[in-house]
Amino acid sequence: MTEIDEKDVNDNIDESGDIVDDSESAAGNVDELRILEALLFASDEVMTPARLKVLVPGAPDARRLRKMVRELNEQLNREGHPFEIVDAGGGYQFRTIPYYHPWVRKLYKERAAKKLSLQALECLAIIAYRQPLSKAEVEAIRGVLSDGAMKTLLEKKLIDICGRSEKPGRPLLYGTTNDFLRYFGVNKITDLPRIEEFEALARAKMEELAIEELGEEQSQMQNLGQDGGDGVDVDGNDGDVVDGDDAVVNE
């Protein structure tokens, strides 16, 4: 047997000493990738490496899973799919590629309307970059009361109580959650951009949303004007209407 033949045979021998067919080995690898893809596609939450290790054949470790995810993403990109697998919140999940966001947003218009307010985003940014800290400290930085914003963040599980301060009164301290990481598509806090960039991005998104909402409101007002004739409510208070003939606000 030649040197090359011996090498070829040795490469196809597994740990037990049995000869392994290359085609079978390749098929097994493909099956693992397809199973991993199926699990991530079917799950409605982030799949951690520990969970995937139990479910994927061969019990791949974290390093092997990263390689498999990279291979899947290369395939998805090569085939032009509109989604990818991302590493976020301590695990993996499918995400639509940002390019398709304008169209997907139309599909989930109701969800888009439930975005965080600018006030809530400001509180969230402060907590994310300076955690843990108390509500009083958040308000001191913002210069305004933040009861409503803090309540919203707690309800959405983007922040949570993580202890008590040693300061007088021992106020509650707040920090971000894993849901926060998933919300912003990052794996750990250190992956966040600088706070100035974060705030600028948040403001830009809120301004974009405000412009869209303003356009919708104007469209609704025009429709009311066409359908309702003279009785168009101007400021939302009952009885305060503009008369179409006299253009006088009745008080």
- Within 10 angstroms of residue 243's Cβ, the number of other Cβ atoms is 12
What would the mean pLDDT of 11-17 be, rounded to a whole number? 44
Q: What is the pTM of this model?
A: 0.46
Domains and CATH numbers, the chain: 21-100 (1.10.10.10), 115-198 (1.10.10.10)
**Summary mean pLDDT of the chain:** 74
pLDDT bin (cut points 50, 70, 90) of residue 154 is very high
Does position 251 have pLDDT exceeding 50, yes or no?
no
Q: What is the 3-state secondary structure (H, E, C) of 165-196?
A: CCCCCCCEEEEECHHHHHHHCCCCHHHCCCHH
Does position 55 have pLDDT exceeding 90, yes or no?
yes
Kindly tell me the burial class for residue 215, based on how many C-beta atoms sit within 10 Å of its own C-beta (0-12, 13-18, 19 or more): exposed
Question: Percent helix, strand, coil in the chain (nearest 5)?
Answer: 55, 15, 30
Asked if 230 and 244 touch (Cβ cutoff 8 Å), the reply is yes
What would the mean pLDDT of 163-172 be, rounded to a whole number? 90
Does position 41 have pLDDT exceeding 50, yes or no?
yes
Q: Look up residue 205 and give its two tokens.
A: 């998104």
Does position 198 have pLDDT exceeding 60, yes or no?
yes
